[in-house]
Amino acid sequence: MVKNITNVKGFKCWGAHSGVKSMRRDLAIIVSDVQASVGAVFTQNTVRAAPIEVSERHAANGLARALVVNAGNANACTGEQGMEAAELMAQTMADELGLDKSDILVASTGLIGEPFPTEDILEGIRINTKKITNKSNAGSFVANAILTTDTFAKEGFLEFELDGFEVNMGGIAKGSGMIHPNMATMLGFIFTDVAIEPKLLQKTVKKAVDASFNMITVDGDTSTNDMVAVFANGKAGNDIIAKESDPGYHIFSEKLEEMMTHLAKLIVSDGEGSSKFVEYDVVNAKTEKKARQLARSISSSSLVKTAMFGRDPNWGRIICAAGNAGVPFDYKKVDLYLGNEETQIMVLEKGVPQQYDRNNMKRLLKESHIKVRLDLKEGKQSATAWGSDLTTDYVMFNSVYTT
């Protein structure tokens, strides 16, 4: 059986149907047996959903015990009623579990601006907190309960050794449209039994998010509800990691980034209406920050996305998008390659267009996985971004989203 978050020591969960979404699970509850360190990042959209405000406040001390997530309603732009509902979600969970309200993080996803179905959600919490378990099916229920327009559940699991102790890490995520994280609708939650000091976990989460979730895009819109949270309850038994120089920190940091990257790429592969998964590599830059900025600029370009959809080797759009990134580079030095995972063709060498077989290129660009590689030839740093194409199906889907 495939392992999931229920295989992480000290975590129980349940995913249920509360009545908000028609015939689908729409309420997820995850609880740690003990107080857990928590690191979290939240949307930088100026318009922020009520649960974002509540969770950011509750996560400020770096500790938490539980998470409750509802799907089907974003609880964004819902005024005082929405804020009261988010507070009541936390309070109701706390009452049912015998915890403090501040021990609970809250997340919501779905339509923006719709009245929040408070009583349905609260009754769902009361009923389903009694059902939490570490049975494997519960992990699957939770992964499905946080979805909206997603076409499949997004899960991941890792197990690794840390100073002689077995460490487990499970993750779930949701996202298909309104994907252009800047944290930090996209949600990502990871649960691990490693022991790590809260402030160090927060720093590590932010670093891992910057290299993973913040390097994906589907449509260029940062949601009102974007949130990534990592719970670490120490049940693995390792000596608590308190400093970056401590044994095991480097391994944990690498594994956390690996998990986030896995979940982030699943989100892109499920982009609304998309037909292609595109990887953008920027290599040999002076700084990693510069490489990331260029990669995100290229992957975010609507013209580049439409070219990928149309199998059009219009590399001028890629160079143009790089030039709009707001960071200087000498385009007369750069090489540019287009192709698929196995074969890439140089279309630009030291800023000079190269001759190539356009029919062969179009065959390569017909693949579902495309690669774009920009070599700046100015340093040793690199970054990778991931994005989807922009299709007619995406336009049609989102033109009738609420109707």
- The per-residue DSSP string of 99-115 comes to --GGGEEEEEEEESSSP
- The CATH superfamily label for domain 5-269 reads L-amino peptidase D-ALA esterase/amidase (3.60.70.12)
Contact 3, 157 (CB under 8 A): yes
- pLDDT per residue over 221-243, tens digit each? 567 888 999 999 999 999 999 99
Give bridge partners of residue 188 from the DSSP assignment: 173, 228
Q: Where are the domains of the chain?
A: 5-269, 277-399
Say if domain 277-399 classifies as CATH 3.10.20.340: yes
Distance CA(233)–CA(248), nearest Å, equals 16
Catalytic residues: 185
pLDDT of amino acid 288 = 97
pLDDT of amino acid 183 = 42
Q: Where are the alpha helices (DSSP H) in 130-170?
A: 136-145
- pLDDT per residue over 170-224, tens digit each? 999 998 655 455 544 589 999 999 999 999 999 999 999 999 999 988 655 567 8
Structure tokens belonging to residue 54? 């509540």
pLDDT of amino acid 369 = 95
Residue by residue, pLDDT tens for the chain (403 residues) are 789 999 999 999 999 999 888 788 999 999 999 999 999 999 888 889 999 999 999 999 999 999 999 999 999 999 999 999 999 999 999 999 999 999 999 999 988 999 999 999 999 999 999 999 999 999 999 999 999 888 899 999 999 999 899 999 999 999 865 545 554 458 999 999 999 999 999 999 999 999 999 998 865 556 788 899 999 999 999 999 999 999 899 999 999 999 999 999 999 888 776 789 999 999 999 999 999 999 999 999 999 999 999 999 999 999 999 999 999 999 999 999 999 989 999 999 999 999 999 999 999 999 999 999 999 999 999 999 999 988 877 777 666 655 5
Q: Strand 27-42 vs strand 63-73: parallel, antiparallel, or unpaired?
A: antiparallel
pLDDT of amino acid 223 = 73
The Cα angle at residue 138 between residues 265 and 208, in degrees rounded to 5: 30
